[in-house]
Amino acid sequence: MSLFGKGYNDKALPVTDRQKRTVDSGVYQGTIKNAFIGKSSGGATSVSLEVKLDSGKTIFETIYVTNREGNNTYEKDGVIGYLPGFLTVNQIALFATGKDLYELEPEMEERIVKQYDSKAGKQVDKPAMVIVPLLEQPILVAIKEVRENKTKAGDGNKRITLADERVFNTIDKVFHPSTYHTQAELEQDKEASYLEAWKKENDGKLDDRYKSLDSANSTTVSKPAASGLFKGL
């Protein structure tokens, strides 16, 4: 046998260029293929989205819409605001159906969907409540490509920052799929201008949050903690 193995094998898969798993930061049209409810170990409610982009790629993202007490708001310095994740998914619901997220709760159905199982270490078929009215609806979203450090669980609520990196996509902004307005622009009767401003600032740019191990510190995060699933606006 050669030092480098058995040489050429005509049964081996052909050589191909490695394809990028993420999409570049940009604004994308797509179709919602799945939207189902999940719970964190601490009790926070999430919505997992599967979106088939018109460009051909499919993106998956799990977005937390409540904290572990079941609230979709936070309070800071005496000011109450909505959780960013709730705003994102609620805007998707508004633009897709004309209804707020909590109004879609009666129309959810339990279905079998593929979900990651931590014990199995892979995607498995499991039951989940699916937000049926969102399925097959058009969507227009600004997506960021993000690079950051991987983390692992530490003691208690601590997360330990690792030197390894991960690159992923996240929905940064939601637009009306036909008028290109944001929710704020529609409510304030403004022209649709934010989309172009976002593109000018972010198109094709990597949101690089990675820190070298020397400067990265272990961080304590609040485990997202459980009324309706979403509560009203």
> Side chain identity at 60, as an amino acid letter?
F
pTM (2 decimals)? 0.83
Q: What percent of the chain has pLDDT over 90?
A: 73
- What is the phi-psi region of residue 94: left when phi exceeds 0, alpha when psi lies from -120 to 50, beta otherwise? alpha
Alpha-carbon dihedral of residues 147, 172, 222, 32, nearest 10 degrees?
Answer: -110
Q: What percent of the chain has pLDDT over 70?
A: 83
Give long-range contacts, CB 8 A cutoff, 24+ apart: 103-108: 104/131, 104/133, 104/134, 105/228, 105/229, 105/230, 107/131, 107/132, 107/133, 108/37, 108/132
Please state, in angstroms and rounded to a whole number, the distance separating the CA atoms of residues 138 and 85.
19
pLDDT given at position 222: 47
Q: Taking residues 87-115, report their average pLDDT.
A: 97
Mean pLDDT for the stretch of residues 39-63: 95
The average pLDDT across 220-231 equals: 53
Mean pLDDT score across all residues of the chain: 89
Asked if 188 and 177 count as a contact pair (C-beta separation under 8 A), the reply is no
Ranking 111-115, 133-137, 172-176, 219-223 by mean pLDDT, the lowest is 219-223
CA atoms within 13 A on the CB side of 149: 17
What distances in angstroms separate CA 65 from CA 37, 45, 92, 172, 193, one per listed residue?
10, 6, 12, 14, 27
